[in-house]
Amino acid sequence: MKTIVSKKLKQLREANGYTQDLIASYLGINRSTYSNYESGDRETPIQLLEKLSDLYGCDLILFYDEQNHTLESILSTAFRIDAIQESDLNEIANFKKAIKNYLKMNILLKNGSLHN
Amino acid sequence: MDRYTIEISENIASKYRIEWNLSLNEAISLHSLILKLNIITMFRPLSETSYGISIKTLSGLKFMLINSSNTIGRQNFTIAHELFHLYVEKNPIPHICSLNKGKNNSEKNADLFASSFLMPKTAIYSFLSDEEINKKTVFTSTTLKMEQYFNVSHSALIIRLKQLKLLSESQFNDLMFNTQVKEVSKSLGYKTTLYENGNEGLIIGDYIEKANQLLEQDLISEGHHLSLINTIFYGEN
């Protein structure tokens, strides 16, 4: 059964132009297992969602957020990758994580907290 | 996006040189420029055919990832290419710029911009003798001198000379496929770093400064600070 998480998995993967094979390989799992996460047949472990949030440059909470406004802003900075090398995915995820960190540091320095 | 002519790319490149307070003929120190523009830039090893990625957030913050496995000359061209995506393109679609990617107009225009921006026409001409201009024959020694001056790769320089119609077809092929560039450059006393990879782990921009400020202001723990630093230096959590 489709869940919010499974729908978001598919939306984010497609917006970034990745195949299921590539994502499964990045996560270190079989493609069929990953496919079950997207179809909602199996629950996605949180450690894998954390790894994907780095790759997509979004917060973990986005996978559980029913509102789509955050998703829209993420999608507007999504990569269109036509010729990605599998070996580059970890560096790309790390780059996006650094960007995410930087945006959070800006909020912290401005507000003194992430929640103001 | 329409494809630019050489003239259009020259005009846009000049406009940005003026905007960034660079004179129209000087060689550009790209690391100084991206530091001044505060583009957070990470130099990390990617596969050989990947060049770089840039991202502009909705609020206008800018980020680049440059492949440290490419030669320094190639890296410089990539930085100029990414500047096009970040500044000239109105609505850039983030993507990885690579050798394998079929080049659409946006990629071709970014290459043309990088070429004109790094190697202005009048600056190129200032290196050429009358004989070279008239005979459409640029000596190898002149090409190597220009590469050193502009800090670009041999192929970027040769393609630029061809764009400006300063090379015949046969000379273009001879120069483009010269496999001895590094050796000849060394024999002329030039540094060869342009033709070598490097910069792995280099960070430009105020990411680390911000992390340090947060720690000093007790807004984050030492553990959190370490994790922020490790992410940008080593790709670790």
pLDDT at residue B211 is higher than 70: yes
pLDDT at residue B226 is higher than 50: yes
Q: Identify the burial level of A67 via C-beta atoms within 10 angstroms of its C-beta, where 0-12 means exposed, 13-18 middle and 19 or more buried.
A: exposed
pLDDT at residue B44 is higher than 50: yes
Token pair 């939306």 in the structure block, residue: A11
Look at B46 and A91 and tell me if their CB atoms are within 8 Å.
Answer: yes
What percentage of chain A exceeds 70 in pLDDT? 80
Q: Is B101 on the interface with A (CB under 8 A)?
A: yes
pLDDT at residue A23 is higher than 80: yes
A83 → closest Cβ in B93, B94, B101: B101
Pick from A93-97, B21-25, B217-221: least confident:
A93-97
Phi (first) and psi of residue B128, to 5 degrees: -95, 140
A94 → closest Cβ in B63, B98, B235: B235
Q: How many alpha carbons fall within 13 Å on the CB side of residue B81?
A: 27
pLDDT tens readout for residues B76-90: 999 999 999 899 987
pLDDT category, B54, cuts 50, 70, 90?
Answer: confident
The pLDDT, as a whole number, for residue A76 is: 45
What percentage of chain B exceeds 70 in pLDDT? 93
Mean pLDDT for B149-166 is 95
Q: What is the mean pLDDT of chain B?
A: 90
Tell me if B140 sits within 8 A of B64, measured CB to CB.
no
Tell me if B16 sits within 8 A of B42, measured CB to CB.
no
The pLDDT, as a whole number, for residue A77 is: 46
pLDDT tens readout for residues A57-90: 777 877 887 765 555 555 444 454 445 677 788 8
pLDDT category, B47, cuts 50, 70, 90?
Answer: confident
pLDDT at residue B69 is higher than 90: yes
Contact residues for B218 (Cβ-Cβ < 8 A; gap 6+): none
Q: Which two tokens stand for residue A5?
A: 């998480």
pLDDT at residue B142 is higher than 50: yes
Q: Is B103 on the interface with A (CB under 8 A)?
A: no
CA closest to B218 among chain A residues: A112
pLDDT at residue A12 is higher than 80: yes
pLDDT at residue B51 is higher than 70: yes
**Complex ipTM:** 0.88
Nearest to B30 by CA among B62, B77, B92: B77
Tell me if A114 sits within 8 A of B131, measured CB to CB.
no
Q: Is B100 on the interface with A (CB under 8 A)?
A: yes
User: Who wins on pLDDT, B200 or A63?
Assistant: B200
Residues of A in contact with B58 (CB under 8 A): 73, 76-77
A88 → closest Cβ in B47, B95, B207: B47
User: Who wins on pLDDT, A83 or B75?
Assistant: B75
Q: Which two tokens stand for residue B201?
A: 């782990």
Which own/partner pairs from B193-198 qualify as long-range (CB within 8 Å, at least 24 positions apart)? Answer: B193/B72, B194/B71, B194/B72, B194/B73, B194/B147, B194/B148, B194/B151, B194/B152, B194/B153, B195/B71, B195/B72, B195/B73, B195/B153, B195/B154, B196/B71, B196/B72, B197/B68, B197/B69, B197/B70, B197/B71, B197/B72, B198/B68, B198/B72
CA closest to B58 among chain A residues: A73
What percentage of chain B exceeds 90 in pLDDT? 71
pLDDT category, B126, cuts 50, 70, 90?
Answer: very high
Rounded Cα distance, B68 and B52, in Å:
9
